[in-house]
Amino acid sequence: PVLVVDFGAQYAQLIARRVREAKVYSEIVPHSMPVSEMLAKDPAAIILSGGPSSVYAPDAPQIDAGMFTADVPVFGICYGFQAMAQALGGTVAKTGNREYGGTPLHARREAGVLLRDLPDDLPVWMSHGDCVTEAPQGFTVTAESAGAPVAAFEDLAGRRAGVQFHPEVGHTAHGQEMLTRFLYDIAGIEPTWTPENIIDEQVARIREQVGDKEVICGLSGGVDSAVAAALVHEAVGDQLTCVFVDHGLLRAGEAEQVEKDYVAATGIKLKVVDAQERFLGALAGVTDPEQKRKIIGREFIRVFEAAAREIAAHGDVEFLVQGTLYPDVVESGGGTGTANIKSHHNVGGLPEDLKFALVEPLRTLFKDEVRALGLQLGLPEAMVWRHPFPGPGLAIRIIGAVDRERLDLLRKADLIAREELTAAGLDRGVWQFPVVLLADVRSVGVQGDGRSYGHPVVLRPVSSEDAMTADWSRLPYEVVARISTRITNEVAEVNRVVLDVTSKPPGTIEWE
């Protein structure tokens, strides 16, 4: 792998993703990992990420010089660039001259490999106080900026390079190209991390893990569990049974999509459990968001366990498939080792004492890679590009108590919003589009010749990369207008449509 050493800023994940986009496998490791351990992973290259420290701070993370005596290509970014310069005998100075945000970079004539044939002046993303004033011996300085006399350097013989700016962010022009050039042209790595290869590798691993045992997988209808199950099916065929729990809190057409499209595309054995009565009974009269979540989590476990027992009657089920993704693993401080980091993620809360071993074929993957695998595995596009949908479903999009009538009403409004978004060709431009029913709020309206006293519906379209942060989507007004007109015309109980213009933070994406 290419190791991305995390110095504690939020950039390591982004760098790891960009490396994967260049079709090279990457893993994030903490800076506290001893160099001997990093080298034991036989890295194709090491990338030192940015970080919040000054290399002068007393507790600043240091780089063990052993990294540079090993014959491994190294690329330093921002803090990693300075730490590398310092470790190799260059000079880092506190200039007090901060550069932050978009900054012009000037490439020198002898622009080396990273900046070769790129424009002499490039906008790049900077975020630094200290700067490198003298490159270490053997390095050529290839660029400068107003606040950084050494903004990029290379030592081709030693297969090392570094940049003061952040090539991984979109604001840096040609940033991806620079990263790619480091990987291919300086480190000499071949781009082999492709969906086909990932599938082959995972299928072999799953076969090895599972042998001839039975496997179950809880399908949520979302892309992660769908792709995980399809991979396992590819590996062990009918040893896999999927369980889909219809809790009555789904959107229009969802259960059908899983039952028909998914089975048609994959041929997977599917057990659909109709648990609507059970969930709606347990939720009756409950308005507190946390309570709703707890009730749903609990009922999920019961239904799922019962289904597993029925399947187990035909043989021993020993394995449970989960769609855990790499960001979940990284955020839980994991990386390698035990599997039980996020057992709550996909099946709505599995108990600790569940007697299954986990199969998590997406554990090393990012969302965009999972989507690419899904397409490669022949899943329908509509499934692969589906917006995320929370496990507790529409229950946390009805502000107030949940009942069938309110659910039906919200389903109608939600379907209209989705139809219009799709018709406008905006499905991929919007990351997620909750529609929320303010069931306990009423407002006065005028419809036809009469007074109405109905409920408002909130549109909450957001853009995001990973749901940790989000911004409200600037949907074209015509699209918003069409959704509003259709909802108030077609859903009798709704006489007002409002648009949520809050980013996250401070708002969350869902209202509950």
Annotated binding-site positions for ATP: 220-226
For residue 246, which phi and psi values (nearest 5 degrees)?
-90, 100
Q: For residue 321, which of 397, 436, 233, 430 has the smallest C-alpha distance?
A: 233
Q: For residue 49, which of 24, 70, 27, 22 has the smallest C-alpha distance?
A: 27
Q: Is 512 a catalytic residue?
A: no
Q: How far is the CB of 249 from ligand XMP (least distance, A)?
A: 11
How far apart are the two ends of the chain, measured CA to CA in Å? Answer: 40
Structure-block tokens of residue 43: 């890295």
Rg over alpha carbons for the chain, rounded to the nearest Å, is 26
Name residue, tokens 């030693």.
Answer: 158
What is the CB neighbour count within 10 angstroms for residue 502?
14
Residue of 128, 166, 174, 233 marked active site: 166
Q: Label residue 407 left, alpha or beta by phi (over 0 means left) and psi (-120 to 50 means alpha).
A: alpha
Residues that bind ligand XMP (CB under 6 A): 293, 388, 390-392, 432, 467, 504, 508-510
Rounded CA separation 141/119 (Å): 16
Q: How far is the CB of 131 from ligand XMP (least distance, A)?
A: 37
Residue number, 218 or 392, with CB nearest to ligand XMP: 392
Residue number, 27 or 414, with CB nearest to ligand XMP: 414
Q: Is 217 a catalytic residue?
A: no
Q: Residue 180: beta bridge partners? A: none
Q: How far is the CB of 427 from ligand XMP (least distance, A)?
A: 15
> CB–CB of 165/78 below 8 Å?
yes
The answer to whether the peptide bond before residue 191 is cis (omega within 30 degrees of 0) is no
Rounded CA separation 82/76 (Å): 8
> CB–CB of 340/358 below 8 Å?
yes
> CB–CB of 167/179 below 8 Å?
yes
Residue number, 210 or 509, with CB nearest to ligand XMP: 509
Q: How far is the CB of 388 from ligand XMP (least distance, A)?
A: 4
Rounded CA separation 6/83 (Å): 13
Q: How far is the CB of 432 from ligand XMP (least distance, A)?
A: 5
Residue number, 20 or 367, with CB nearest to ligand XMP: 367
Residue of 27, 99, 168, 299 marked active site: 168
Residue number, 376 or 503, with CB nearest to ligand XMP: 503
The answer to whether the peptide bond before residue 506 is cis (omega within 30 degrees of 0) is yes
Rounded CA separation 507/491 (Å): 27
Annotated binding site: 220-226
Q: How far is the CB of 470 from ligand XMP (least distance, A)?
A: 7
Q: How far is the CB of 507 from ligand XMP (least distance, A)?
A: 8
Q: Is 168 a catalytic residue?
A: yes
Rounded CA separation 132/149 (Å): 7
Written in H, E and C, the secondary structure of 189-214 is CCCCCCHHHHHHHHHHHHHHHHCCCE
Residue of 31, 78, 247, 420 marked active site: 78
Residue number, 403 or 510, with CB nearest to ligand XMP: 510
For residue 48, which phi and psi values (nearest 5 degrees)?
-95, 120
Long-range contacts of 351-355 (CB under 8 A, 24+ apart): 351/301, 354/305, 354/320
Residue number, 73 or 392, with CB nearest to ligand XMP: 392
Rounded CA separation 418/479 (Å): 11
- Where in the sequence numbering do the catalytic residues fall? 78, 166, 168
